[in-house]
Structure 1
Amino acid sequence: MKFNRIIKASIEEKFFSGKAILLLGPRQVGKTTLLRAILDNRKEKHLYLDGDDPTVVGILENANTETLRSLIADNQIVYIDEAQRINKIGIKAKILVDQFKEVQLLISGSSSFELNQQIQEPLTGRKWTFNLWPISWAEYEKEVGFLKSEQSLENRLIYGFYPDVINQTSQEEKVLIELAESYLYKDVMMYGNLKKPKLIQDILKALAYQVGHEVKFKEVAETVGADPKTVASYIEVLEKAFVVFGLSSYSYNLRTEIKTARKIYFYDNGIRNAIIRDFTPLAIRQDVGDLWENFLVSERVKRNSYYQSLARSYFWRTKQQQEIDYVEELAGKLTAYEFKWNPKRNVTFPKTFTVGYNSNNLLVNRGNFREFVGN
């Protein structure tokens, strides 16, 4: 099954605009597939360079301007895949952009931790940056249709949206566990130069069980037997490797509202469930609310990213335990969201927030979620 990615047109619009095009995202979400699909529809001749190929790495790491000229030859597009593997790729990219203005440079990578470190300064003002995530709900529904997507929602809450997981029916658990073990416990450790594989596993499990809840580094540190600073540094690597992302608490009144709290979510429900080895059907799970919230927030991240929304995302909680699941601020206006799986459940939004901030309040449930996660 092939998915039409929402971001495709936005990338195509930037071709031959005088800047490199940088595509970031987790491994196995389809970055190479997307860029190759774009290239297949273009008339220009292109050169593909695989950052996992030792020969390619050796040539690029030692290349000067003349070597690059010989390498490019008569190609009008150069695509460097898994570019974070290539030492000093930022310098080579700068040369390509500055010295070969008729050539369009494409770069893709699976770790903003390494790749951004290498290219941020050399490519300042010389790049367009895009993020690609696991298949979004909007992309999935467009491909399979309304009825099948409706029938598949519970499975998607369990198994997530990685392309291989969707395409390998009945093999979802095997694919997810392999992905978690190869990507999370190997690539992440390599990217971040982490030394303790068991600690990263323990931290991920702790975060998986706290999805939708406030995360305190000190409590996680006590759970896994590590220093809070170490936990914080490991979580930072997980964020830069596109495994998890955090929301800060919204606060204006520092006396009553909690300012420093964070919630941490996984970009994909399937990865979260693979970490805790729990693929139990939704009907008999105790964490349905957590899965629903992780799904909604991660889908909202995809939506806002693809449509280049300027909205800023938060949650809200007071010292008196009043809370709101998700808050967006756009152009000075606040919208508060509460998430409930059961469409029959009603919620009351705290007056402290709604009156104090004059917010728009919306309940997102099983029956009306499409507008929240779509366009």
Structure 2
Amino acid sequence: MVKNRKIVSLLQEYLSIFPAVGLLGPRQVGKTTLVKPLDFEKESLYLDLEKASDRAKLMDPELFLKTHAEKTVILDEIQLMPELFSELRSLIDERRVPGRYIILGSASPDLIRKSADSLAGRIGYLELTPFFLDEVEQDEDEKLWIRGGFPLSFLAKSERESQLWRQNFIKTYLERDLAQIGLSTDPRLVERFWRMLAHAQGGIWNGESFARALGVTRPTVNRYLEYLEGSFMIRVLRPFHQNIKKRLVKSPKVYIRDTGLLHSLIGIDSMVQLQNRIEIGSSWEGFVIEQIIASKGEEYGYFFYRTHQGAECDLLLVKNGEVQRAIEIKNTLSPKLTKGLRISMEDTGAREGFVICRIEGQFPISENVLAIGLKEFLSE
């Protein structure tokens, strides 16, 4: 079972403020399912820009949209008709009232740039993530970890059905979706790249190594990375280096955002298999990071910390330039304070330290450092 999506109240607030609201997220994450049943203050009109019949209605977008000026118009898969942004800008400027347009998009690296140029000051953006822990039942955290949070994977009737959905999602994304968002290249190369990223989950990005392994140039693999990040498939976690005098690692770390897709990409079908694979630690690390970011949202900036001397912290939560929390993530039931976390806290001036591990509850392991379960951290 799944509880109500946490983003609904924020979406309704945005609709009461902005003339246009952009709800972005990966394919099949549930954007349309979330928006269509909402109770709007006025009548709504839904257009799916993947359908030729709906695109035909917008051959003269100004005329069509003015005809429906009193409605909330929902434009789904907006990246297929980015030229609409300039029309929306003109219509909003003529009649600036909140909740006129809802833009749904699977995003591309230039989607935000195009819309930001056209609708700056007129649109508020929200990201719809796959399900996260606050949105599922209390006994389903392990299921969420192994299957991931895409609705049709998480809610599948069996593990086999979930596996098949994820395998077909990966195939469709590579063969169709990437081209639709602007990356025209050999899908087999991108698949190899994606699987390599999965096997290197949480590793420091080295574009030169990936380029050599794939037999392509470094700008090419950087472009692949950009498109995978822009379509919400991967998380590029930046290093923290503000006011630090030590020699630091300055390349980002890369994670497959959804652990269900991660497990399919590296050939893991069940929790039993995951428990016998060396990748379990990096899988848990990526899962925890995504749960924290999905839950805390824009409250913090998110970084990692690593020095060339070996001090490392998996996640820093930063607000107003100050490190509020330093987090180490361990797949263990017996957490300990590591030297790396202690040094990282001293270097960054972190106010609190946490070791998030596979326990329930919390207990202190040092001054200002708690060992804590993921659920407790999210609700704390």
Please, what TM-score do these two structures have when normalized by structure 2?
A: 0.88
Q: Which amino acid aligns with 1:317?
A: R
What aligned pairs does 1:127-206 form with structure 2 within 5 A after superposition? 127-140=123-136, 144=137, 146=138, 148-149=139-140, 153-170=141-158, 171-206=161-196
**Distance verdict in 2 for CA 1:85–1:165, change over 3 Å:** same
Distance 2:132 2:256 in 1: 14
Give the C-alpha shift of residue 192 in structure 1: 2.9
1:36 alignment counterpart = 36
Corresponding pairs, count: 359
Aligned with 1:52 (options 36, 50, 53)? 50
**Distance verdict in 2 for CA 1:165–1:67, change over 3 Å:** closer
Q: Name the stretch that deviates more: 330-339 or 130-139.
A: 330-339
Structure 1: where are the runs of 5+ without partners?
none
**Distance verdict in 2 for CA 1:184–1:91, change over 3 Å:** same
Distance 2:315 2:61 in 1: 50
Give the C-alpha shift of residue 16 in structure 1: 4.2
2:24 alignment counterpart = 24
Distance 1:196 1:231 in 2: 12
Give the C-alpha shift of residue 271 in structure 1: 1.1
SS at match of 1:326: strand
Q: Which amino acid aligns with 2:52?
A: P
2:4 alignment counterpart = 4
Is the contact between residue 143 and residue 154 of structure 2 (CA under 8 Å) also seen in structure 1?
no
What aligned pairs does 1:199-214 form with structure 2 within 5 A after superposition? 199-214=189-204
Distance 1:185 1:273 in 2: 20
Give the C-alpha shift of residue 95 in structure 1: 3.1
1:330 alignment counterpart = 319
1:353 alignment counterpart = 344
1:222 alignment counterpart = 212
Is the contact between residue 44 and residue 74 of structure 2 (CA under 8 Å) also seen in structure 1?
yes
1:232 alignment counterpart = 222
**Distance verdict in 2 for CA 1:33–1:374, change over 3 Å:** farther
Is the contact between residue 84 and residue 114 of structure 1 (CA under 8 Å) also seen in structure 2?
no
Distance 2:18 2:214 in 1: 48
Q: Which amino acid aligns with 2:252?
A: R
**Distance verdict in 2 for CA 1:332–1:111, change over 3 Å:** closer
2:64 alignment counterpart = 67
Is the contact between residue 332 and residue 358 of structure 2 (CA under 8 Å) also seen in structure 1?
yes
2:262 alignment counterpart = 272
2:85 alignment counterpart = 90
Distance 1:76 1:253 in 2: 51
Q: Name the stretch that deviates more: 220-229 or 344-353.
A: 344-353
2:369 alignment counterpart = none
Distance 1:272 1:27 in 2: 16
**Distance verdict in 2 for CA 1:157–1:44, change over 3 Å:** same
Is the contact between residue 89 and residue 118 of structure 1 (CA under 8 Å) also seen in structure 2?
no
Distance 1:361 1:284 in 2: 29
Alignment partner of 1:125 is 2:114: no
Please, what TM-score do these two structures have when normalized by structure 1?
A: 0.89
SS at match of 1:324: strand
Give the C-alpha shift of residue 87 in structure 1: 4.2
**Distance verdict in 2 for CA 1:14–1:219, change over 3 Å:** same
Encode CA deviations 1:290-344: one digit per residue, 9 max, x unaligned.
1100101111221232xx31x2111111112221111122234322111112121
**Distance verdict in 2 for CA 1:2–1:202, change over 3 Å:** same
Give the C-alpha shift of residue 253 in structure 1: 6.6
**Distance verdict in 2 for CA 1:18–1:217, change over 3 Å:** closer
**Distance verdict in 2 for CA 1:184–1:373, change over 3 Å:** farther
**Distance verdict in 2 for CA 1:277–1:333, change over 3 Å:** same
Give the C-alpha shift of residue 256 in structure 1: 3.5
SS at match of 2:64: helix
Distance 1:18 1:356 in 2: 41
Encode CA deviations 1:117-150: one digit per residue, 9 max, x unaligned.
432211010001100010111111xxx3x2x22x
Give the C-alpha shift of residue 374 in structure 1: 4.5
1:365 alignment counterpart = 357
Give the C-alpha shift of residue 183 in structure 1: 1.9
**Distance verdict in 2 for CA 1:355–1:119, change over 3 Å:** closer
SS at match of 2:35: helix
Give the C-alpha shift of residue 18 in structure 1: 4.8
SS at match of 1:93: helix
Q: Which amino acid aligns with 1:95?
A: S
Give the C-alpha shift of residue 254 in structure 1: 6.7
Is the contact between residue 24 and residue 105 of structure 2 (CA under 8 Å) also seen in structure 1?
yes
Distance 2:92 2:292 in 1: 33
Is the contact between residue 2 and residue 135 of structure 2 (CA under 8 Å) also seen in structure 1?
no
Encode CA deviations 1:256-284: one digit per residue, 9 max, x unaligned.
43242211112200111222232242332
Encode CA deviations 1:8-65: one digit per residue, 9 max, x unaligned.
1011112243520110000111111111132xx33521111111111221332x3253
- Percent identity between the two aligned chains: 26
Is the contact between residue 266 and residue 294 of structure 1 (CA under 8 Å) also seen in structure 2?
yes
Is the contact between residue 265 and residue 298 of structure 1 (CA under 8 Å) also seen in structure 2?
no
Give the C-alpha shift of residue 66 in structure 1: 3.1
* Root mean square deviation, CA, Å: 2.1
**Distance verdict in 2 for CA 1:18–1:363, change over 3 Å:** closer
Is the contact between residue 211 and residue 264 of structure 1 (CA under 8 Å) also seen in structure 2?
yes
SS at match of 1:343: coil
Q: Which amino acid aligns with 1:322?
A: A
